[in-house]
Structure 1
Amino acid sequence: MAGNLVITIGRQCGSGGKLIGQLLAEKMGVKCYDKELLSMAAKHSGLCEELFEKHDERPTSSFLYSLVMDSYSMGYTSSGYSDMPINHKIFLAQFDTIKKLADEASCVMVGRCADYALEDYPNVVSVFISANDSDKLKRLQELYNVDQSKAKDIMIKTDKQRSSYYNYYSNKKWGDPRSYDLCINSSATGPEGAADVILDFAKAKQQWRQR
């Protein structure tokens, strides 16, 4: 890990968290990992990549589904691991991948409980991005080319899934200010401004730790 700076971003659906993560990575000259984590975790674990996409930031699935999809798993041989539900295997594979990337270089990670996976790493800055509902709905309407009603459905469903996933696998509560170093309303700053605020905060945290 050495002096690698890793910024993790939790985000409400439609808040622009991914865009802010990309802007941050550009300013830092590092990589931003979002869904890329899925393919990397699949490659490292030997599990089918489609499984990661199916379970991406979703809470536990039915026991029957886990049993059926378990036939696709390969690469891990211990009996304890073999008996584990597929959704737990997927989480652990992502957990390991997140730690591996953090050990290799500074980076930005979006979602997937990265802040929890790296909670023992000293140079991690955990951020949660929220936004006003009107701005989130407008962004989702443009992104998915849907009306406001459909955008609201997407927003509510996605946030519910992310919240359930985070609350299930971590020892913290999704969206609770106490779970993060910094919480930002992107409606108040804009994506570019949010990225600048996060960078300034990261510098302040590092300076404080070095005192």
Structure 2
Amino acid sequence: MDKRLVITIGRQCGSGGRRIGQMLAEQLGIKCYDKEILNRAAKESGLAAELFETHDEKPTSSFLYSLVMDTYSLGYTSSSYMDMPINHKIFLAQFDTIKKLASEESCVIVGRCADYALADDPNAFSVFITGDDEDKIKRIMETNNIDANKAKDIMIKTDKKRSSYYNYYSSKRWADSRSYDMCVNSTKLGLEGSVELIKTYAKIKGLL
């Protein structure tokens, strides 16, 4: 029996989603992957690591969803892949790395359309972490040692970037409850409570 458990986490800026993912992984005794995916994807694809950092969760304006899927099915040696813009190659490399990671081990994966990449994996489920604006702004202020106005600006811009990236590269809508298996408001439950709720969901699903 396949005992893998893969939890993907989408998150609003300031919601504590990344920390929830880390806490969840620690309590389950598995790894949490966030930016680590960039380094692995760079290594496996042969593309420069700096390129992944530059294009991390950033959308473009000329990408066709069908092109991604067609190229992914054809593989990296196809002529269409060779002619593809670098940002498209970077997305495909991350997509491939996420699928490989999930097939090899139990883990928590934060961001980068991981829920979309693993949509057909029966041992994976997706979570979106949201929160009340006041709470999110306060967390950003504390994390970055900045005032409320600057924190709010970061929150809005980061969420806009993440939304554009997700909507652009996937066939779903970012922050839409229909795009995820469960949505959690970290303001209502706190970080620890959010972790417990996600673990309970995994148990009910028979994955724990």
Structure 1 length normalisation: TM-score?
Answer: 0.89
Unpaired stretches in structure 2, ≥5 consecutive residues: 64-75
Q: Which residue of 1 aligns with 2:59?
A: 59
Alignment of 1:126-165 (within 5 A): 126-165=126-165
Matched, 1:101 2:101: yes
Q: Could you tell me which amino acid in structure 2 is paired with residue 44 of structure 1?
A: E
Counterpart residue identity of residue 171, structure 1: S
Q: CA deviation at 1:77?
A: 4.8
AA in 2 matched with 1:101: L
Q: Please tell me whether the aligned partners of residues 8 and 108 of structure 1 are also in contact (alpha carbons under 8 angstroms).
A: yes
CA separation in 2, counterparts of 1:175 and 1:168?
Answer: 13
Structure 2 match to 1:119: 119
Q: CA deviation at 1:78?
A: 3.6
For residue 68 of structure 2, what is the aligned residue in structure 1?
A: none
Mapped to 2, the partners of 1:100 and 1:61 lie a distance apart of 28
**Residue pairs, 1:163-202, within 5 angstroms:** 163-202=163-202
3-state SS of 2:18 partner: helix
1:68 is matched with which residue?
A: none
- Would you say the 8 A contact 1:127–1:184 is kept in 2? yes
Report the Cα offset of residue 2 of structure 1: 3.0
SS in 2 for 1:122: coil
The unaligned stretches of length 5 or more in structure 1 are 64-75
Match of 1:82 in 2: 82
Is the alpha carbon distance of 1:62 and 1:54 closer, same or farther for their aligned partners in structure 2, counting shifts above 3 Å? farther
Correspondences of 1:14-53 after superposition (within 5 Å): 14-53=14-53
| Aligned amino acid, residue 200 of structure 2 | D
| 4+ aligned runs moved over 3 Å, structure 1 | none
Q: Give, in whole Å, the separation in 1 of the partners of 2:182 and 2:58.
A: 24
- Aligned-partner residue type, residue 16 of structure 1: G
Give identity over the alignment, percent.
Answer: 70
CA RMSD of aligned residues (A): 1.6
Separation (CA, whole Å) in 1 of partners of 2:3 and 2:116: 19
Offset of residue 82 of structure 1: 1.3
Aligned partner of residue 183 in structure 1, secondary structure? strand
Distance 1:186 1:127 in 2: 12
Report the CA distance between 1:61 and its aligned residue: 6.1
* Cα deviations by residue, 1:110-153 (Å, 9 ceiling, x for unpaired): 00000000000001110000011111101111111111111111
